[in-house]
Chain A
Amino acid sequence: MLSAAGDVPGERAREGRAADAHAGEESARLGAAALEASLRQRLDAGARAWLDGALADARRAAATGPEPAADAAPGARRPLPAWELAFAAAGRHCRAAATGAAPAPAPVPEAADAARVLLLHAARPDTGTLTRLYTRGSAAERRAVLVALPWLPVDDDGVPLVEDALRANDTRLVAAAVGPYAAARLGAHAWRQAILKCLFTGVPVTAVAGLAERAAGDAELARMLRDYAAERAAAGRPVPDDLHHVLALTETHAGNGTDAAPHEETRS
Chain B
Amino acid sequence: MRIFDPHIHMTSRTTDDYAAMHASGVRALVEPSFWLGQPRTAPETFYDYFDALLGWEPFRAAQHGIAHHCTLALNPKEANDPRCLPVLDELPRYLVKDSVVAVGEIGYDSMTPAEDEALAAQLQLAADHGLPALVHTPHRDKAAGLARTVDAVRESALDPSWVLLDHLNETTVAAAADSGSWLGFSIYPDTKMDEHRMVRVLRAYPWLMDRVLVNSAADWGNSDPLKTRAVADAMLTDGFTEDDVDRVLWRNPVAFYGLSGRLDLDVAPPEATHEGNSLLRGGE
CB contact under 8 A between A209 and B283, given known A91-B98, A110-B277, A171-B273:
yes
Shortest beta-carbon distance, B47 to chain A, in Å? 6
Shortest beta-carbon distance, A162 to chain B, in Å? 12
Q: Does the CB pair A89–B98 fall under 8 Å? A: yes
Residues of A within 8 A of B205 (CB): none
Other-chain residue from B51, B97, B264, B274 in contact with A171 (beta carbon distance below 8 A): B274
The B259-277 residues at the A interface (CB cut-off 8 A) are 261-262, 264, 266, 268, 273-275, 277
Interface residues on A, range: 35 or more
CB contact under 8 A between A74 and B43, given known A92-B262, A175-B282:
yes
Question: Which of A56-64, A138-146, A224-232 lies at the binding interface?
Answer: A138-146
Q: Does the CB pair B268–A109 fall under 8 Å? A: yes
Other-chain residue from A91, A110, A141 in contact with B279 (beta carbon distance below 8 A): A110
Q: Does the CB pair A172–B284 fall under 8 Å? A: no
Shortest beta-carbon distance, B151 to chain A, in Å? 26
- Check: A179 CB closer than 8 A to any chain B CB: yes
Distance A208 CA – B283 CA, assembled complex (angstroms): 6
Q: Does the CB pair A5–B282 fall under 8 Å? A: yes
Q: Does the CB pair B93–A80 fall under 8 Å? A: yes
Q: Does the CB pair A139–B55 fall under 8 Å? A: yes
The A133-176 residues at the B interface (CB cut-off 8 A) are 135-143, 147, 168-173, 175-176
Q: Does the CB pair A139–B59 fall under 8 Å? A: yes
Q: Does the CB pair A170–B280 fall under 8 Å? A: no
Q: Does the CB pair A114–B283 fall under 8 Å? A: no
Residues of B within 8 A of A137 (CB): 51, 54
Shortest beta-carbon distance, A205 to chain B, in Å? 9
Count of residues in B whose CB is under 8 Å from the partner chain: 34
Cβ-closest chain B residue relative to A210: B283
- Check: A206 CB closer than 8 A to any chain B CB: yes
Cβ-closest chain B residue relative to A111: B279
Residues of B within 8 A of A74 (CB): 43, 86, 89-90
- Check: B215 CB closer than 8 A to any chain A CB: no
Residues of B within 8 A of A110 (CB): 277-279
Q: 6 A-B pairs, CB-CB below 8 angstroms?
A: A74-B43, A113-B277, A140-B98, A172-B280, A175-B282, A180-B283
Binding site for B on A (CB under 8 A): 1-6, 74-77, 79-80, 85, 88-92, 106-107, 109-110, 112-114, 135-143, 147, 168-173, 175-176, 178-180, 183, 202-204, 206-211
Binding site for A on B (CB under 8 A): 43, 47, 51, 54-56, 58-59, 86, 89-90, 92-94, 96-99, 261-262, 264, 266, 268, 273-275, 277-284
Q: 18 extra interchain contacts, Cβ-Cβ under 8 A, other than A175-B281, A204-B274? A: A5-B282, A76-B89, A77-B89, A89-B96, A91-B264, A136-B93, A137-B54, A139-B56, A141-B97, A142-B55, A169-B56, A170-B55, A171-B273, A178-B282, A179-B283, A203-B274, A207-B284, A208-B282
Query: Which 8 A-B residue pairs are closest in the complex by CB-CB distance?
Result: A209-B283, A5-B283, A91-B98, A139-B55, A138-B54, A179-B282, A209-B282, A170-B59
